[in-house]
Structure formats: C-alpha cells, structure tokens
Structure 1
C-alpha cells in the first residue's frame, strides 16, 4: 500500500513540476502565451476538398495545347439530364462517329436479321453441264463480300454439274447506284475511299505488293482473301520516275491504270488501293475462282439482267454487319447500309448526299437531333456537321442505348506511355472518329457507384484541315500530333466525369 501511494505522490510531483515549469516559462514569455491562447483551432478540411482538386474542363482544354475548337456534352443516360457541357451547339464534322447514326438508321429500316444476298442466275436450261443462254452474277449490294465468298458461290454451280455457258457472262451491279468515290476531297489513292456499287468485293480494294528486284521492281496486284488470292487484270500499275504524286490513277478502257512514284517504293511493301470498276472487278475474280474449280466463263459484261436463281450466298445478319462496321469503321459498309436503308423506305436516291440528307431528316424526328447535316453515311466527308448536344440527345433517346451500346467497341483507358490500364474503375464503350485535324468520340461510360453517362467529345481545327486538303497530302504534317493530343484530352475529360459522378458533384 505504502509503495503504491509513494508512487502516486512521485507521479503527481513530477506532473506538478512540469506544470510549474510551463507556468513559469509562460510568465517569463507572456506575449507568446497570449498568442497560443488566442490562436484558433485548425479548420476541418472541406468535404469537397478532393472534388476541388479535379481540374475543370476548361483547364483540361487549355492544358491540351490543341488548336481549333473543342465541344463536349455529358449527360445522365437514364434521365437525359445534361451534367456538363462546353459550347455544345458548335457544329463540327463528326468523322466516323457519324456511323452511329447510320447504324441506327439501318437497324430501324432494314431490321437486325436482314441479310444481303449475292446470286447467280441463268437465262436458259442446263444441257450436259452447259447453261443454254446467259449466266448472270447479280449483286445485292453486300459490302462484306470477298473473294472466298465468290469461290463458295462458284462451288455451288460446280456441285450442280455446270461446266460452262453457251451465251454471255453478265454482271448486274444495279442493286445500288454506282458512286465514283465517297469523298472527292480525299487523296485519289486512299483505300478507304472506294467506289460504291450494287456489287462490291473486298471492300472495293485491290492489294498492291512490290519488291525490289535488281534495278527495278516486281509488282503484283491481286484480290486476296484468306483462301484465294487471284491476280487481277482489271487494275494495272507501273513505276514512274517521279517524286510526287506518290500514286496517280487514270481510268483506262475497262480497267484501272495506276502509276507509282519510284522514289516512294524503297525495298518493298504492300497496301490496298481503291477499285473504280467494282462490278467488272467482281466479275473477273468470279471468273478466276470458277475456273479454278473447273467452270469456264467468258469475259464478263456489265448489264442488268434477270433469270432463274441457281446459286446464292448471304451476308451475316444486319446486327453483325453493323457491329463490324462500328468496330472496324469501314466506310464502304456505312455507305451501303445508308443507301439500302433509304431505298427500303421507298426513296429514290441516286447519290450519297441525297441519301444522307434523308437520313438526317429521319434523325431530326426520331432522335431529336436538331442540327444534323450529313453529306454521306460514313463521316468521311468533312462537310458533314453535327453538334455534341445532338449526339447526346441521340444516345439517350428511348431504346437507343439498348440497341447501340452492345455494338460499340470498348474504349480502354491508357497511361502516359500509351499502355492500357488494367482494372481501371471506368468502363467505356464508344465510337471513335478520325480525320486529319478532327478527332471525335461518343458513347457511354460506367462510373464507380453504378452511374452510367452518355457523352460526346469533338475536337476539330477545320481551317487547318482545309489547308491540308488543299496541299493533297494523305497524312499532312502535324495531323498525328493533333489527333494524339485530342485523344489524351478525351480521356482526361472522361476521367474527370468519372471522378465527379459518384458524388453527383457536377458544377451547376
């Protein structure tokens, strides 16, 4: 007991000494003691301190170093309420984001189960394996038809014992109007700017391959697919002793004549060139794959014709065609879908612009897109215009998300070195669009907490784009840098919205 009490006394004595020492020191330094007593307690951190550290959209735009204009809108995907926007009524080129509208247009007027058909017809009976009359290759506009598909079609004829034809081999490509090129403002040799027709093959492109051989080059043009790659005569190419243009095209008599600048060839390489005579191209390739299976055909002639169907192949259903169009951004597919949908509505459309105008009218009424003005269905033409608020209206329109979102491609978040960030808290599905000095993105983002938002972001320097087009370069100086910065800005904006969404802390 005594030991415990002494311990307590000792502790108390020590505490008193300490307190006394502090008191004496305070008496000696009264001013400092007064300051300590008067000093307020530290203020608690504001509840939104973290949110205050998130840069504004304007700050992100400023930091991007981009020239031109930026427009964006982000909205609640369920209610349609706009969370944030920046000059949302600015009309800018949509680039390939236009394909989202085309996808909805095609699904609405053709249906998810619609299939394109390519057929073979005969005008007379078959006697001893020979068609007594004409054999007709009839296109249905299928934008996905390739050389292997034509080989399957020819195989169906061979299985019936057909070995030849007494009459003509006709090519009917009148299912759709023939359109020389999607956008006249593109470089002549851009493989993504082919002719559109009622009979399309290999996306209306021919494969050009070259190899250094001694002092010259070995040149090859073929219609390659996975199984078959027949050489073609419909497109020919020769080397020219010049620097520019890299490629030059002249429409010959029944063929495409190309020249390529020798200075651009190096030791070898390959690329796709557009086909300007797609009906004859498909006919020649069909003739080649048929011959490989024992069916001999004369040279094809373009002519609308009718007869009894004896063979057919079909495309994948429209839902798959649309999904692949959005994934690979194939311009030919978009134009064929738009033209076919317009014709399914009973409209007479002889040009891309007429069909695109009809699609724009439909979008105004069906999707509440007030400022839309398209000149084609792919977005390749820079004269098309739409606003980001229009795209937001489209994305949140009744039934659109359920139909469109499953067809969109995942848009991964990337680190500063361009690597994909695994397990990122944001999940994005979207359609990208790229032209020289134009970068667009539109889709849906899932933020932590289960909040889903629809968004559209456009970045464009239209004067710079127009100046580059006038120079005729396929990829003008500065275009890659511009588009790279635009993509970084787009991701930064999406990450901003993802940070604000769980607390519903959008400005205003």
Structure 2
C-alpha cells in the first residue's frame, strides 16, 4: 500500500524524469506562446474568428467549438461536426470511461502465487507472478514483493517460475506506425514494469563504449538480460530492433553516440521483462528462481504476497498530467474488460469506449482506435468533445483531474496576471494539435471548449523512420498552439466580460 504522495513522488519518478522523450509525441512541455499583451489583457478589440483562423498559417483543417458550461448553450463553432484526430485529448474521455466503469477508488493488484505445497520453506510447485493490469508497477514494487515472499516463509522454489500476463491482451506496440525505438509506444499486456521501458545508457570507454540495459528507479538499477544492445559501426539508422523470441535485440549506430548519454527504449516482451527483474529481486532475498516462463493460463493458486496500485483517481490525474500512453491504454482496456469481458485488441476496446460515450454523452460523430490518442486514425469532433466536457462538469468529474494550462507571453514566460484561467488536456502529434477543457473568464463565467487541427497530407508524407522529429512538424505545432491561445482569449473576452 502506498500513499498518494509516495506514488506521485516515487511511482512516477521515472515518467517525470524522462518527460522529454514522451513530450515529443504527446503533451507539449510548455503551453501556448502568444504575442505579448494580447487583446484580452488590454481590453481592446476582439479578433474576428475567420481572421484568426485564416491568419494562423496552418495548412490542413481546423475545427473548434465553445459552449457555456452552466446553460449548455453553444456559443461559437467552426467545423463543429468535423471529425479530426484528437491526439492525447482522447485521454480525457478515457479517464471518464474508467471512472464510470471501475470507480474512483479502484486499485490494480499484482500478486505472487504458489501453485503447489509450501513445506518447511520449500515450495513444491510453481511460483507465479501475476499481473493485474497495473500500469504503474515499477522495480521498487517488485523488490517489496520479493521481500514479502521471503517474509511469507519461502526459501526455495522447486518448480518453475511463471509470469501471468493474461489480464489484458498482449500487443507488441500501441501504434505500429511509430518507429521501433520510441518509448511512448511500448508493448501492452496484463503486466507492465516501469511503463514497459528499459533504460539504455552508454559512455565512451578506452576501447569503444561501455553500455548497460537496466530497469532502474531512483533506488535500484538491476541489469536485465531480456533486452540487449550492440554498438554497430554505422551512421544510420540510429537504432534497429529484432524480436528474438523472448529477447529484445537492439543495435545502435556508433556515430550517433557521442561521448555518452542515455534514453528509455520500449519493451516488447513485458512478461519476460517483469520476470527478469523479479528474479533479480528474489535472488537478493536468497530465493533462486528459474528463468521466467510467460503464461496466459491462471491456475488456482495460493496467495503469498501482493502489491496494490494507488486509487484510480490518483492514477488518472497522473496519466493526464504526464500524458502517458501506456497508462491510458491499460486503464482503458481494463475498463472494457470489466464492462464486457477482456477485449481481443486495442481497437476492439476503443470501439467499446466509443459505444459507451454514445450511450452516456450522446457522442455522434467520433470514433476512437485506442485510448491514448496515439493512433492518428482516431476521430473526434469539437461538438462531441464539448458535450462530454459539459456533462462531466455537471457530474463533478474531470475538471479537478486536468492540469492548469498556463497562458504565456511571446518569450514563453507564464503570464501570472492573465485574467483567463484554463484547465485542459493537450494533444500533440506531428502535424496534429488538440486542446480541450475549461476556461474561466474574468467575470467567473465558465466555458467548455475544444480545438482540433490536423494537416493529414503532411503527416502522411512522413516516413516511418522519421516520425520522431520530422521536418516542419515543430513549427506547424507551434503555430497551432498560438492559435489555441488566441481563440481562448477571444472567447474569454466575448463571453466572459
């Protein structure tokens, strides 16, 4: 059991520490960058909507909608029924889905089980590490489970060591269209460790490079054998990946390494990864386990130890703050499993969530292919998103989970005295930008809004290998964020002053 404070500080330390790699495909590290002293600050003339859209410099499609939260009245829309990729704004809908189906106090449990008799400290049978769909499980938690195993009286295991990953369907990546090496699209299964990422570190040595692959947290740095790295004498590609059964085999270009550095790489075999690390932690307690065997079958077995995640409400706040894709997918798929049985695929689970949104909020023209928004085949309309936001606000949900959206000047500095206050969920993919949430105007009026923009043609031209940082994407997304703030300021000035 862990407190909320401990979870936010320790449980997500690895996530916060590697935010730079996650930001490139998810939520931006900073908010909007408008011109200094905007019309809303000066009380000057209100910018015309058509002029704002035309002057944004954005190619592709732009759609937006805004409504009064109290009355539900639609105030302004441009392309309100146009369905565009929502990117990570979709995570707001996933949060509501999970709250409705699982409940705010739901916890995920990871268990250690004995399939056999325990006599005199010897387990005559198999030991099972059973995943319960917890996306926040980390190396520290496995260390605690190993210690609890010893405290339960286990000194020796005569049978096999198994990892059960059958709580959720197993998928090798969230979005197959992403490059192999990006940490924000790891594998999914019923067990996850360190957000299914492995830490690769390199340093220039006297002959070549010193490299390591480990499952580090602030407290532990156990090396792993299921993920291997080889340095190759080449310039490109920077990384290559090969699936060698239960091993993730990587190579990296020597000419890209420099003197040293590190990055998180995705794990494609979560069960073997968790098993690898748990063996190390058990060995530290004097318990020697055989190499892990991953299984989808759960026998009737005796509980020896367990770890529970924080309450779902705490996890969702962290998921939305850090825009973590794996958390969204595992939580969303767990909600579907509880609602209608374990889904066979991510797309199937997302379809179940879309159907739920239609029943619950009257969503009409939106279709999702995942729970994170990473897949650009998802579509959502501004009108649908605003309807969801208004209903959630009336139910007292979501707003407290969204993070403050700081208004900024032309130098990127937070404008503390800005009269408009915003909490929202951002969404950023290459040539796709979304924003949905609530703004509170100077007079206290609350508005719900959604803004989606996408240049699908430019996105389609990107080669798979270049999708981490394609040319032109950063400047396009920067212009989209400038437009978002200008729209917010327009709405706050017209409808809240």
What TM-score comes out, normalization by structure 2 length? 0.89
Whether the 8 Å CA contact 1:395–1:401 is kept in 2: the answer is no
Q: Which residue of 1 aligns with 2:265?
A: 273
Q: Which residue of 1 aligns with 2:291?
A: 299
- Could you list the runs of 5+ residues in structure 2 that have no partner in the other structure? 1-41
Q: Which residue of 2 aligns with 1:367?
A: 361
Q: Which residue of 2 aligns with 1:391?
A: 385
Q: 1:373 to 1:483 in 2, by over 3 A?
A: same
Q: Which residue, 310, 319, 335 being the options, matches 2:313? A: 319
- Aligned-pair distance for 1:469? 4.0
Whether the 8 Å CA contact 2:179–2:464 is kept in 1: the answer is no
Give CA-to-partner distance per residue, 1:184-239, whole Å, 9 cap, x none.
11111110001100111111100011111135111111001121110011000111
- Aligned-pair distance for 1:348? 4.5
Q: Which residue of 2 aligns with 1:137?
A: 129
Query: What is the CA RMSD across the aligned residues, in angstroms?
Result: 1.5
Is 1:459 aligned to 2:453, yes or no? yes
1: CA distance between counterparts of 2:222 and 2:108?
24
Whether the 8 Å CA contact 1:51–1:500 is kept in 2: the answer is no
2: CA distance between counterparts of 1:233 and 1:438?
38
Is 1:284 aligned to 2:261, yes or no? no
Q: Which residue, 204, 227, 236 being the options, matches 2:228? A: 236
Q: Which residue of 1 aligns with 2:340?
A: 346
SS of corresponding position for 1:444? strand
Q: Which residue, 197, 204, 209 being the options, matches 2:201? A: 209
Alignment of 1:36-115 (within 5 A): 53-115=45-107
Q: Which residue of 2 aligns with 1:310?
A: 304
Is 1:380 aligned to 2:365, yes or no? no
Give CA-to-partner distance per residue, 1:365-401, whole Å, 9 cap, x none.
2112111111111100000001111101111126556
What TM-score comes out, normalization by structure 1 length? 0.87
Higher normalized contact order (CA 8 Å, seq sep 6+, divided by chain length): 2
Q: Which residue of 2 aligns with 1:447?
A: 441
Q: Which residue, 399, 402, 416 being the options, matches 1:405? A: 399
Is 1:163 aligned to 2:189, yes or no? no
SS of corresponding position for 2:398? helix
Q: Which residue of 1 aligns with 2:482?
A: 488
- Could you list the runs of 5+ residues in structure 1 that have no partner in the other structure? 1-49, 504-508
- Aligned-pair distance for 1:296? 1.8
Q: Which residue, 243, 250, 275 being the options, matches 2:242? A: 250
Whether the 8 Å CA contact 2:179–2:465 is kept in 1: the answer is no
Give CA-to-partner distance per residue, 1:437-486, whole Å, 9 cap, x none.
11100000000111000000112111101111456341101111111111
Q: How many residues are paired up?
A: 454
Give CA-to-partner distance per residue, 1:116-173, whole Å, 9 cap, x none.
0000111223223221211111110110000001111111111223222011111111
Q: Which residue of 2 aligns with 1:178?
A: 170
Is 1:419 aligned to 2:413, yes or no? yes
- Aligned-pair distance for 1:51? 7.6
Q: 1:453 to 1:382 in 2, by over 3 A?
A: same
The 10-residue stretch of structure 1 (242-251 or 464-473) with the greater mean CA deviation from structure 2: 464-473
2: CA distance between counterparts of 1:400 and 1:353?
30
SS of corresponding position for 1:114? coil
- Aligned-pair distance for 1:313? 0.5
